[in-house]
Structure formats: C-alpha cells, structure tokens
A and B are shown apart, each in its own frame.
Chain A
Amino acid sequence: GAGVSQSPRYKVAKRGQDVALRCDPISGHVSLFWYQQALGQGPEFLTYFQNEAQLDKSGLPSDRFFAERPEGSVSTLKIQRTQQEDSAVYLCASSSTHPSGSDTEAFFGQGTRLTVV
C-alpha cells in the first residue's frame, strides 16, 4: 500500500478482554515503532523493531503488553487483560532506516482507537 495501514481503526473491548492491533508498514521499511497516545497528550513510545528484532521495548507499560514482528514486516501489538487505563490511540510508524537519517522520515498510520469499557 501507499502508506502505513493499521487495523482495526476502532476497537471497543470489555475490561479483561485480550486485544490484538495490527500494523502493515510501508513495504521494505526496516524500522517499525509503536506509540500510545492518550487523549490530549503527545504520543508515548512503546517499542521499536529493526526488521524482526525488537531492539527496544522499554516503553511497554506492563507485562500485559506484547509486540511482535516475526517476518520483519507486519507487526502486532497485543494487550492482555485490558484495563480502562489502556484506552488510547495506538500509533504505528515505519521508516526505511532510522528516522533520524538525513534522507528519511518516520511515516505514521492513522492509529487504532482502543476504548476499554
């Protein structure tokens, strides 16, 4: 596709339910990031992949959060036993190299809005 695609766009989960959020990065992009954006806040870093390797997961808020990118392309963010505080927009971004490079940038998807009720 032309850009980063995330699905679903909206997800309502009952407290305690497990959810899986999908990110399709731009084809060939090496780097993939997940961010959490609470209402009225800036995006907060969750985790970073370079190809299939998860190089940084320091932002994952608890062991209920798990991300994978097994073949170095599509990534899934899984949240187990969802809580109300997990309600947020989850953004995925991809980049052909690290986005600090002089000739590249991170492209963001439209996000998945998760509401835990």
Chain B
Amino acid sequence: AQSVTQLDSQVPVFEEAPVELRCNYSSSVSVYLFWYVQYPNQGLQLLLKYLSGSTLVKGINGFEAEFNKSQTSFHLRKPSVHISDTAEYFCAVYSSASKIIFGSGTRLSIRP
C-alpha cells in the first residue's frame, strides 16, 4: 500500500530565509507525487507535481521539489520565504486505486 510521511508537523522560519519541508513516501510501483498548499479557511491548491522525467520539479510561488527514488523522498524547498507563504503544506501520492493519499501536513509559520 502507498503512504506518505511528513515528519515535521510545524516548521518555523524567518522571513527571507530558505525552507525545506520533508516528505517520504512508500510505494512498490511507479509513483505520482504532489505538493498542495492550504491557506487558512481555504481549499487545497496544487503547488507542483512529479509524474515522470526530470527529478527537479518547479511549481508556483517559487517552490520546487526534488524526487529522489533511492531515498523515497520528495522534499519541498523555497530559497527565500515570504510572510504570505504561511500555510499548511501537504505532500500526497497518487494511489493506483484511483485516489490521492495525503500526508498529515506541515504547518509553515514565517517570523518577520
């Protein structure tokens, strides 16, 4: 069965500092991986996705993620965060059973 683990429930960083949100997945088959962002009282918005090809995926709002098959990871990074990046971030994997499975989320808080 496919699953996603986000080890960090909260990540506090200072404004303009770099950030990495960690995600590890388990799957015995080819994977499709996603990062979603959820702003307060909002639905989920797709940041980026990895389906195949280049392991470095660029998304919206300056975020990028790198697919690492040997480490089964798909960490999200941004070189310089802004106050507006304060949100909950969810890593997800597409299950071959036609469903997207989400991690438990990482709350990113930006300090001025």
Q: How far is the CA of A56 from the CA of B51 in the complex (A)?
A: 22
Q: A93-B44, A100-B32, A110-B42 are in contact. Are A56 and B98 (CB under 8 A)?
A: yes
Q: Which of A12-20, A36-44, A63-71 contacts B (4 or more CB under 8 A)?
A: A36-44
Assess whether B100 is interfacial by the CB under 8 Å rule: yes
Nearest B residue to A92 via CB reads B43
A101 to chain B, nearest CB (A): 8
Asked whether, in the complex, the Cβ of B100 is within 8 Å of the Cβ of A110, the reply is: no
Q: For the complex, is A91 an interface residue (Cβ under 8 Å from B)? A: yes
Contact at A42–B99, with CB atoms within 8 Å? Answer: no
Contact B45 A41 (CB under 8 A): no
Q: Do residues A43 and B97 form an inter-chain contact, with CB atoms below 8 A?
A: no
Set of chain B residues within 8 Å of A109, measured between Cβ atoms: 43
Chain A interface extent, by class: 20 to 34
Q: Is B46 an interface residue (CB 8 A)?
A: yes
Cα–Cα distance between A31 and B83 once the two chains are bound (Å): 34
- Check A2 for interface membership: any CB of B closer than 8 A: no
> What's the Cα separation between A102 and B99 when bound, in Å?
16
Residues of B42-100 contacting chain A, CB below 8 A: 42-46, 49, 51, 90, 92, 94, 97-100
CA distance A4 to B63 in the complex (A): 24
Q: A100-B32, A105-B49 given as contacts; is B44 within 8 A of A33 (CB)?
A: no
| Known contacts A102-B51, A105-B49, A45 near B101 by CB under 8 Å | yes
- Contact among B41, B46, B90 for A105, CB-based, below 8 A: B46
Residues of A within 8 A of B6 (CB): 42
Interface centre among A40, A100, A106, A108 (most CB of B within 10 A): A100
User: Closest A-chain residue to B91, C-beta based?
Assistant: A42
Contacts of B46 in A (CB 8 A): 105-106
Which of A48, A56, A108 is in CB contact (< 8 Å) with B44? A108
Is A72's CB within 8 Å of the partner chain B?
no
Nearest CB of chain B from residue A115's CB, rounded to whole Å = 14
B99, A56: Cβ atoms closer than 8 Å: yes
Q: Mark A86-117, 1 if CB is under 8 A from B, else 0.
A: 00000101000011101001101111000000
Q: Give the docked Cα–Cα distance between A45 and B100 (Å).
A: 7
